[in-house]
Structure 1
Amino acid sequence: MKPLYKNQDDFYQEVRGAVQPLKLDFNERSDSRPLWLEEEAISTECLWRYPDKSGLQTQVSNFYGLNQEQLLLTNGGDEAIELLFKYACLQKRQLILPLPAFSQYLVGKNNWSSSIDLIEPLADMRIDLNTAVGCLSEGAILILTSPNNPTGELIPYDGLVEVCQQAKSKGAQVFLDEAYIEFACKAYDSSLELIQQFDNLVILRTLSKAFGLAGIRCGYLLGQAEIIKQFASLAMPFNLPAPTIEVAKKAFTESAKLEVSNYSKMIAQNRELVGELLFSSGLQLVDSSANFVFIQGCDSKLRLIKAACEKRNIVIKTNLSGLTVNDKAVSALRITIPFYLKPLLNALRLALKPELICFDMDGVLIDTSQSYDAAIKATVEKLSGNVVTQDDIERLRGQGGFNNDWVLAQELTNEQGTEVGLQQVTEVFQSFYQGSGDTKGYKSLEKPIISQQLLTELFIANSRTIKAAVVTGRPKDEAVEGVQMIGARNSLVISDDDVEQSKPSPEGILKALRYFSKENGWMLGDTPDDMAAANRAGAIAIGIGNDSLYKYGADLVLNDVNQLESLL
């Protein structure tokens, strides 16, 4: 069979991606440079004088069909949020913030010691809009983000109309953060209609997300003239640098508008594909209209997603704050949707849809505590005259490098002060394990660990979606006997006789991947050598039985092999 890769280095480069990581943690436009942004040096002619943003002010106002008094340019969305807190504190206004929310609002709460009501989210992590509106009073400001960060939840147009109406009836205001609105596509223009209807509404937008200009720090506030005037009075006079103004002007052109629209549509399509894969794997998603997805569900699957992305050099958001009022722990991930989807999809499939699962045999598929371990103890006692314990065996196995039980028995014997060769150890070991004459060997005491149901699903039914292989440190004949004992049929068995280098070398796993022409694989084992082999092969490393395997690179540890079924 023709190998998929010329050598292991080629394999590592393919499965682990490029040297530069794919950043999918800050919702930036990290893998698709704006086509309308020409590669040219910023003019230095204007750097000696204070920046003049009037030209950009006119351009943005015309872009949206608004009067210039209805627009305030800000130093990114962050300055706009800072102005909100300054405005609320100076006017002693109560803030209402439904959670989950963008972390910057919680930073502002602490920095300004603001009077703010945090509203607990609904059970599915959507905002409790009804409760938030119910908390409004004279002079209060309701902070909404739509699409929301970190969930992507979109407040529909009718919902925004009702919120603005109720707020106005109570003498309250609405601060609407639309940093991700371009990705909602059809909702992009609708919220702007609300500006003409309501004088108690301020809308925040930015060039940091869909426009791909997070580095220039340019945002803006939209609203009726009187409320924008109040925010503008609190801003620094020269809050946008000249280079920012120069680049931002390029964003507010028809060519940029068309490109951003097409880019956003592609992200929306990719978001649906990612969502389908996650949902089909039993994970929970808030329906997202942003350039990211918020994922909850089985902690083990979330851990595997994190591990797979790390192996493929993809950075995702794993530490989310501001999800609940008391900041109680919520198991969740947020992943930015890239323009070029293949690397992310491959990583998610590695985590959730393995093409091949490799199993170590001893301690994973078969209980060998009364066979191999007993043979180790008997061998050491016969050769040294001293008794060793199960703890002694586990101590060496835990160090790594003792995947071969003959080598392990030799080391334990040497520790007792008796120097012996590997050949002698092997002969004594085999006499106990295989038996001789009428004496049954310890191998007769072996029992399957894997359940009949899981065995049938992976080794007998010959699944078209998931292939299975045994990658063991046993010699070939004993590996075949083990497979026959548990009842596996027509299984791929890669024994220690089939490789040039034993585990922790990844050779056995790579051979199995090549045999089935697969790229995404898992390895289940109970020793540090198994974990090392898995990681070196770019596979998911699943430890069995001992949490200490996390120290040796396990991506997930299960109590026993039968828990695997809950992950498939």
Structure 2
Amino acid sequence: MKVKKQMLSLKAYEPGKSIDNVKKELGLTKIVNLASNENPFGCSKKIQEALQAISNYARYPDSRAEDLREKVANHLGVNENQLLFSSGLDEMIQMISRSLLFPETNVVMASLTFPQFRHHAVIEDAEIRDVPLKEGRHDLEGMQIAVDEQTSLVWICNPNNPTGTYVNETELRSFLEKIPNDTIVVLDEAYYEYVTAEDYPDTMKLISEYDNLLVLRTFSKGYGLAAFRIGYAIGHEELMRKLDIGRLPFNTSRFAQIAAQAALTDKEFVKESSERNFEGLQQFYAFCKEYKVPFYPSQGNFIYIEPDKKPEELFQYLIQRGYIVRPIKDGIRITVGTKEDNEGLIKLLKEFLVNGTSNIKLTS
């Protein structure tokens, strides 16, 4: 078998444990999944209504998603040719990496950020320049120093996954001024709908000022359409035409396109999801402060904590009691759930910190 040598160093993406698998494995009847940053409040009721109108399943979907394209362009105040749609942002990251990276290039990113940035850079055999986070935030000064003539891509996850921290308008603008115009700066704004910071960048305005800025957004998080797998990029028209060459034909389903259009019409659902998420974060902040657990204030629908005890032991303690979270490096990333889900998890976190790690049966 002749396989790219760089593939030998990688593993396939491992999602968080599914609810059904955990039920079977541990013999539990109730599972709360707070590992995948899904919207715990579901999606707009308008989605099901819109999907009922779909018929003739034998036909391919609109490859360019023209109706959705028009609605998203109006929603953002951009030109329709500035948009590119994908099967979730994972496919968009793949398209960007496939189009812009090759062995002679390098890519600059944070050392603790969304792992798919690194994954696809390795596949394309590009050099990876990791810049450590500074107090959980992107070190833009360090990243700018790492950029040179061979830098094709800079990834900035904003808010950052897993820490939930963000780059503000002043910081981003200053960074963009120092980056060569032939280096593409990609802002992954998957959690944009949850952001409450007043100084968060107005990236639609910045796109009109910087030809090398590319912004990614998705319907998976705030809109609650993770099952449909639909995301999009916004950038300069010339860049989008080039990236479109690497897009698979009919890459977004008709169901996803219709669902996304319906989701855009229900602003109240997104607003309510964001408000309830903010309230949920306050629950976790109060716990962390009371028990002196290090954490980062989050602009996403998750919180990253670093308890003194080993993350894997805490993960096992929680999953055996029906709560799935995500262990990452030295900490735990917890999706903000419903008020009741948060209360249940916080109760277990307190028990773990007080009682220690006894009675933990390690699972595979």
* TM-score for the superposition, normalised by structure 2: 0.82
Instruction: Report how far residue 257 of structure 1 moved.
Output: 2.1
CA distance in 1, matches of 2:292, 2:349: 13
How far did 1:237 drift?
2.8
The gaps in structure 2 that reach 5 residues or longer are 1-25
- Look up the match of 2:221: 209
Give the match's secondary structure for 2:58.
Answer: coil
Q: Root-mean-square deviation (CA), in Å?
A: 2.7
Q: Distance in 2 between matches of 1:278 and 1:303?
A: 19
Superposition map of 1:85-124 within 5 A: 85-89=97-101, 93-122=105-134, 124=135
- Give the paired residue count: 332
Given the alignment of the two structures, is residue 126 of structure 1 paired with residue 145 of structure 2, yes or no?
A: no
> How many Å separate the matches in 2 of 1:272 and 1:309?
21
Deviations, residues 364-404 of structure 1 (Å, cap 9, x unaligned): xxxxxxxxxxxxxxxxxxxxxxxxxxxxxxxxxxxxxxxxx
CA shift at 1:19, angstroms?
Answer: 2.7
Does the aligned pair in 1 maintain the 2:89–2:230 contact within 8 Å? yes
2:203, 2:332 → 1: CA distance? 29
Aligned partners of 2:89 and 2:218 also within 8 Å: yes
Corresponding residue SS for 1:185: coil
- Following TM superposition, by how much is the alpha carbon of 1:50 offset from its aligned partner in structure 2, in angstroms? 2.2
The equivalent of 2:16 in structure 1 is none
1:310 matched residue in structure 2: 319
Matched, 1:285 2:283: no
Point out where structure 1 has 5 or more consecutive residues left out of the alignment.
1-15, 321-329, 355-520, 523-539, 544-548, 554-568
Q: Which amino acid aligns with 2:79?
A: N
Letter of the structure 1 residue corresponding to residue 332 of structure 2: L
Give the C-alpha shift of residue 130 in structure 1.
Answer: 1.2
Residue 223 of structure 2: SS of its match in structure 1? coil
Q: How far apart are the structure 2 equivalents of 1:278 and 1:305? A: 15
Does the 8 A contact of 1:47 with 1:242 survive in 2? no
Following superposition of structure 1 onto structure 2, how do residues 206-245 of structure 1 map, counting pairs within 5 Å? 206-245=218-257
Letter in 1 for 2:185: V
Shift of residue 163 of structure 1? Answer: 1.5
Q: Aligned pair in 2 of structure 1 residues 114, 353: CA closer, same or farther (>3 Å)?
A: same
Contact 1:142–1:175 (CA under 8 A) maintained in structure 2: yes
Aligned position for 2:167:
155
Q: Hey, what's the Cα distance between the residues in 2 that align with 1:163 and 1:72?
A: 25
In the alignment, the residues of structure 1 paired with residue 67 and residue 283 of structure 2 have an alpha-carbon distance, to the nearest angstrom, of 41
**Pairing of 1:483-494 with structure 2 (within 5 A):** none
Give the direction of change, closer, same or farther, for the CA distance of 1:298–1:156 in structure 2 (3 Å limit).
same
> What per-residue deviation string (whole Å, max 9, x for no partner) do you get for residues 130-186 of structure 1?
111111123622110000011111111111111111114x64221110001111135
C-alpha distance in structure 2 between counterparts of 1:282 and 1:129, whole Å: 29
Cα drift, residue 209 of structure 1: 0.7
The one-letter code matched in structure 1 to 2:342 is L
Aligned twin of 1:337: 336
AA in 2 matched with 1:136 = V
Q: Deviations over 1:470-490 (max 9, x none)?
A: xxxxxxxxxxxxxxxxxxxxx
SS at 1:95 equivalent: strand
> Which amino acid in structure 2 is aligned with residue 331 of structure 1?
D
1:57 aligns with 2:56: no
CA distance in 1, matches of 2:316, 2:231: 35
- 1:78 maps to which residue? 90
Q: Is the 8 A contact 1:88 1:94 kept in 2?
A: no
Letter in 2 for 1:138: E
Q: What's the offset of the Cα at 1:312?
A: 4.1
1:349 aligns with 347
How far apart, in 2, do the equivalents of 1:106 and 1:49 lie? 36
Query: Based on CA coordinates, which of the two structures has the bigger radius of gyration?
Result: 1
**Given the superposition, is the C-alpha separation of residues 173 and 33 from structure 1 closer, same or farther in structure 2, using an over 3 Å criterion?**
closer
Q: 1:195: which partner in 2?
A: 207
Matched AA of 1:252: L
Alpha-carbon spacing, 1:20–1:307, altered in 2? closer, same or farther (3 Å): same
Residue type at the aligned position of 1:336: T
CA contact (8 A) 1:95 1:115 kept: yes
For 2:331, the aligned partner's letter is: A
Per the TM alignment, residue 314 of structure 1 is displaced from its structure 2 partner at its CA by 1.5
Q: Normalized per residue, which structure has more helix?
A: 1
TM-fit CA distance, 1:345: 1.9
CA shift for structure 1 position 104: 1.3
Hey, what does 2:7 align to over in structure 1? none
User: One-letter code of the match for 2:277?
Assistant: I
Runs (4+) off by over 6 Å: none
SS in 2 for 1:285: coil
Change (3 A) 1:264 1:214: same
Match of 2:292, SS state, is coil
